[in-house]
Chain A
């Protein structure tokens, strides 16, 4: 059977794309290597009776256009950033979605026309001005913009991470509840679970090469007219293709794309509430930054302590509490080898030391602990170097400088975190990819 589109990855982006495409009447297949769809939108029981979302507690807001297209009804507590930031982000998203709706032709005629009449440079991107500003100008938002990211707030351009502010938090059931809403929206798309996509099949046609399907890990082949990859740029380009079948510019730019990474998390199960009611940031010092550059486990990591069970009581049993600790600047690869059990314990101990000083008495109530380091995120989600943003949020890798949904290979679309829409909103990248695919048909 031939599908109209094969979607690699069953996370928020993949599910959004599946929902949009099936609603447009296309035959779609979602390929997910885990046992359940949802991607990072999961809630796990990390200690008996205590649950938390392992990879993040908050999300970038779901764009209004996506909510409307998918009929999502998720009760989210949204701590919206100031109006001007929201406006820039929504403006950038609107521009991405508008461009996605304009058809793009890969044919010879269209290529000739473009060669003769190159498109005029468009107006400046909304939010582009942030590239010249530092995060330090927004002290109130610093904690959230730095969440798990390796950015010096004094650096010019660091303000761009404000566009990717994760301010939406589910009120009940953790991120898994949001995931279920996305799965319900994509209910009419079939999934292949437990199977990894190993290669995108490229066929040569009369007008050039185009993606023609996906090869799965068990050797079977899914024939499709188009392929959307919701993996990050590195995996989409460098892992899914025979390099020789791609235009060299595509592989080179993917190779040069820099991943940020550096997030580690501790999920703590407490026997009694910690007394903390609002998130607490313990910023990094020079030692932590030096350790990151060296590729060593820091002694004083920056911590963002979030009492998630205060907001979402379903995560902890009665009387208990769940704290999550998000650490930034944790090297994905250590200079002296792998993330062994000892190094994880060493990191957890360093974080708990800081936490114990800031919140006296918390350690005595500690019941269970779960440590997540960047390789865990890479192994479970397939995010290169454990980077949930799909790449560093630096001026040369944001907005127009990020890859769009369309690629030089006809029929192959990027709908993952590495695209321009990726960090700006949950499901936005998948939505843009689906719109582009529909426009180009």
Chain B
């Protein structure tokens, strides 16, 4: 007789979603959180999984959004160019940059979305192992994918557009997941983003109202047990299968299934694999202001030249901060701005953090004059992606990204997605696989 069917490491968005699905299926779940309380997520949600949203009834449980379907914008001309879903409106906005770019926008969107439509099969039938084969066996698609697999995102965009400012803004999405923007295959990251935009119920990015995402997930996962201040120090395995976890206090908890919202590298290190230090990460900041400011409902990308991505990437690999960093700003509330910076080193010292915060505030005050004087606090979160995003990773079906080579151990965090995305989709797939895991059926729960 065992106490728990499944253990979930981390009470973040991914961990709580996975716990909610498993507990909803009548399984006994324990979530282990190393902080004193489930942490509040910072920044926008990318492509929140629509299946998850409806399955967990998050809207009924209090999830509210400050803004949905955030367009990408960049401050080339005042009041800035905003690229939303409406291709013609975007094209009109781009005419400030020149006719050529304005004309290229719609064909570019069509190309990217046509490919993304092929990727949709991965989003919806993610539990099928052969999904990738199905996509790649169609000749027309195969040729286009094959070309993208050899193209860097910067070269792909340069073939379409002339304006550096536009290319630099669009590259921000391609740099997610630790990609080098010139790396062959990074062009596929743009397609992946387009697929997220199509599949996510709230558009590509939406900003939840403060606290409501965490609260609705906690309500959804209310049937699961949560342990706070419980730091996991090891995953116990026997003959290639999971048997439980070990906590910092020396206690061991047995369960046949473990879902980890940590990165793949960190999870495998817990299971005894050699520790691979992630090199590239992204930093998320939440800048609090004393007064409400006018900030457009958009993802404002601040990156002036396409070249700064390569520089920042090389600096991050060397473990330092580049002189200029691409960043994305979104209003989390009328008096709170969420900032995402990448690529940055996966481990940031206190000085680095202060420097990042200072830079973000400086650039914010360039957008909103006088904002620097209003800043009253900055909250920080760094995630190391471990530069796992490779071509193979992008094209692998979700099942393979979620599974590990240890039976019963699944990855459910944002890191199980090739591109940084808080969608909870990996959690849904991992929980779905875990429910089908034969280890569950072998023994009744106490």
A interface residues (Cβ-Cβ under 8 A, vs B): 1-2, 29, 35-38, 45, 47-50, 179-180, 183-184, 186-195, 216, 218, 220, 317, 320, 367-368
Least CB distance from B231 to A in Å reads 9
B249 and A192 within 8 A (CB)? no
- A180 CA / B33 CA spacing, docked (Å): 13
CB contacts (< 8 Å) of B230 on chain A: these are 187-188
Contacts of B445 in A (CB 8 A): 1
**Nearest A residue to B23 by beta-carbon distance?**
A220
Residues of B within 8 A of A190 (CB): 30, 225-227
In the bound complex, what is the Cα–Cα distance between A180 and B222 (angstroms)? Answer: 21
Complex Cα gap A193–B23 (Å): 13
Which residues of chain B from 217 to 269 have a CB within 8 Å of any chain A CB?
A: 218-219, 221-230, 247, 249, 251
Is B144 interfacial (CB-CB < 8 Å)? no
Q: A192-B222, A194-B219 are in contact. Are A179 and B36 (CB under 8 A)?
A: yes
B38 neighbours in A (Cβ, 8 Å)? 35-36, 193
Does residue B109 face the partner (Cβ distance < 8 Å to A)? no
Contact of B229 with A184 in the complex, beta carbons under 8 Å: yes
Residue of A nearest to B211 (CB): A35
Residue of B nearest to A185 (CB): B229
Chain B residues contacting A220 (CB-CB under 8 Å) are 223
Contact between A187 and B229, CB atoms less than 8 A apart: yes
Instruction: Determine whether the beta carbon of B249 is less than 8 Å from that of A48.
Output: no
Residue pair B376, A1 in contact (C-beta under 8 Å) = no
Tell whether B65 is near chain A: CB-to-CB under 8 Å.
Answer: no
Is B288 among interface residues, defined by CB-CB distance under 8 A?
yes
Query: Closest Cβ of chain A: how far from B441's Cβ, in Å?
Result: 18
Nearest neighbor of B226 in chain A, beta-carbon distance: A191
Q: Which residues of chain B are near A186, meaning CB under 8 Å? A: 229
Taking the complex as formed, is B101 at the interface, i.e. its CB lies under 8 A from any CB of chain A? Answer: no
**Once the chains bind, are A48 and B229 in contact (CB under 8 Å)?**
no
Number of A-B contacts (CB under 8 A): 92
> Are A1 and B222 touching (Cβ within 8 A)?
no
**Cβ-defined partner of A49 (8 Å) among B3, B37, B218, B288:** B288
CB-CB under 8 A from B314, the residues of chain A are none
Q: How far is it, in angstroms, between the C-alpha of A45 and the C-alpha of B286 when the chains are bound? A: 13
Knowing A1-B446, A188-B251, A320-B376 are in contact, say whether A194-B222 is a contact too (CB < 8 A).
Answer: yes
Q: Which A residues are CB-close (under 8 A) to B376?
A: 48-50, 317, 320
Say whether B222 contacts A218, CB under 8 Å: yes
Asked whether B377 lies within 8 Å of A191 as measured between CB atoms, the reply is no
**When chains A and B are docked, how far (Å) is the Cα of A202 from the Cα of B288?**
49
A192 touching B36, Cβ below 8 Å: no
Q: Can you spell out 10 A-B residue pairs with CB atoms less than 8 angstroms apart? A: A2-B446, A38-B37, A48-B289, A48-B377, A49-B288, A184-B36, A191-B228, A193-B218, A195-B219, A216-B222
**Distance (whole angstroms) from the CB of B230 to the closest CB of chain A:** 5
B226 near A1 (CB under 8 angstroms)?
A: no
Q: How far is the CB of B435 from chain A (nearest CB, A)?
A: 19
Q: Which residue of B lies closest to A182 (CB)?
A: B36
Report how far A191 CA is from B29 CA in the complex, Å.
Answer: 11
A180: nearest chain-B partner, CB-CB: B36
CB distance from B293 to the nearest CB of A (A): 11
The listed residue (B214, B225, B247, B335) touching A35 by CB distance below 8 A is: B214
Q: Please, how many angstroms separate the alpha-carbon atoms of A317 and B290 in the complex?
A: 11
Q: Which residues of A contact B223 (CB under 8 A)?
A: 192, 195, 218, 220
Q: Does B108 contact A (CB under 8 A)?
A: no
C-alpha spacing A367/B290, complex, angstroms: 8
B residues within 8 A CB of A38?
A: 36-37
The total of chain B residues at the interface (CB under 8 A) is 34
Is B37 a contact of A37 with CB atoms below 8 Å? yes
Report Cα–Cα, A192/B227, bound state, in Å. Answer: 9
A36 touches B377 (CB 8 A): no
Q: Are B290 and A192 in contact (CB under 8 A)?
A: no
Residue B215 CB within 8 A of the other chain: yes
Contact A48 B288 (CB under 8 A): yes
- Complex Cα spacing A48 to B376, Å: 6
Residues of chain B with a CB closer than 8 A to A36's CB: 36-38, 228
Closest 10 CB pairs of A and B: A49-B376, A36-B37, A190-B225, A48-B288, A49-B377, A187-B229, A194-B218, A195-B222, A180-B36, A184-B229
- Rounded to whole angstroms, the CA-CA distance of A29 and B226 in the bound complex is 10
Contacts of A368 in B (CB 8 A): 290
Q: B224 to chain A: closest CB distance in Å? A: 8
Contact B249 A188 (CB under 8 A): yes
A35 near B290: Cβ-Cβ < 8 Å: no
B317 at the interface (CB under 8 A from A): no
Inter-chain contacts of B222 with A (CB < 8 A): 192-195, 216, 218
Chain B: minimal CB distance from A7 (Å): 13
Complex: how many Å from CA A367 to CA B2? 55
- Asked whether B313 is an interface residue with its Cβ less than 8 Å from the other chain, the reply is no
Nearest-Cβ distance from residue A48 to partner chain B, whole angstroms: 4
Given contacts A49-B290, A187-B230, A320-B376, 14 further A-B pairs with CB under 8 A are: A35-B214, A35-B218, A36-B36, A38-B37, A49-B375, A180-B36, A183-B37, A184-B36, A187-B227, A188-B251, A192-B226, A194-B215, A194-B218, A368-B290
Chain B residues, Cβ within 8 Å of A188: 227, 230, 247, 249, 251
CB distance from B446 to the nearest CB of A (A): 5
Residue B28, interface by CB 8 Å: yes
Bound: A35/B217 CA distance, A: 10
Any A CB within 8 A of the CB of B428: no
CB of B102 to closest CB in A, whole Å: 40
B113 is an interface residue with CB less than 8 A from chain A:
no
Does B336 have its Cβ within 8 Å of any Cβ on chain A? yes
Q: Are A191 and B290 in contact (CB under 8 A)?
A: no
B1-29 vs A, CB cutoff 8 Å, 1 = contact: the mask equals 00100000000000000000000000010
Chain A positions within 8 Å of B375 at CB level? 49
Contact A1 B28 (CB under 8 A): yes
Closest residue of chain A to B37, judged by CB? Answer: A36
Min C-beta distance of A34 to chain B, whole Å: 9
Chain B CB count within 10 A is highest, among A1, A47, A186, for A1
> Please, how many angstroms separate the alpha-carbon atoms of A194 and B212 in the complex?
12
Q: Do A189 and B227 have beta carbons less than 8 Å apart?
A: yes
Closest to B39 in A: A36
Most buried by B among A35, A179, A186: A35
Q: Specify which chain B residues have a CB less than 8 angstroms from the CB of A45 in the assembled complex.
A: 288, 377
The smallest beta-carbon distance between A317 and chain B, in angstroms, is 5
Q: Tell whether A1 pairs with B3 under 8 Å between CB atoms, given A48-B335, A183-B229.
A: yes
Cα A180 to Cα B229 with chains together (Å) = 9
Neighbour of B225 across the interface among A29, A183, A218, CB < 8 A: A29
- Complex-state Cα separation, A61 to B211, whole angstroms: 32
Shortest beta-carbon distance from B395 to chain A in Å: 38
B290 partner residues in chain A, CB cutoff 8 A: 47-49, 367-368
Q: How far is the CA of A83 from the CA of B189 in the complex (A)?
A: 70
B228 and A35 form a contact (CB under 8 A): no
- Contact with B226, one of A50, A193, A320 (Cβ below 8 angstroms): A193
Chain B: which residue is nearest A318 at the CB level? B376
**Chain B residues closer than 8 Å to A317, beta-carbon distance:** 376-377
Kindly provide the distance from the CB of A226 to the nearest chain B CB, expressed in whole angstroms. 18
Report which residue of A36, A180, A317, A367 has the largest number of chain B beta carbons within 10 angstroms of its beta carbon: A36
Shortest Cβ distance from B376 into chain A, in angstroms? 3
Query: Which residues on the B side are within 8 Å of A48 (C-beta)?
Result: 288-290, 335-336, 376-377
What residues on A are CB-neighbors of B225 within 8 Å?
Answer: 29, 190-192
Select from chain B the residue with minimum beta-carbon distance to A217: B222
For B61, the closest partner residue in chain A by CB is A194
Closest CB in chain A relative to B237 CB, distance in Å:
23
Docked CA distance A184–B225 (Å): 16
Q: Which residue of A lies closest to B30 (CB)?
A: A190
Chain B nearest Cβ from A121, distance in angstroms: 44
**Within the assembled complex, what's the spacing in Å between the Cα atoms of A49 and B376?**
5
Provide the residues of chain A in CB contact with B226, threshold 8 Å: 190-193
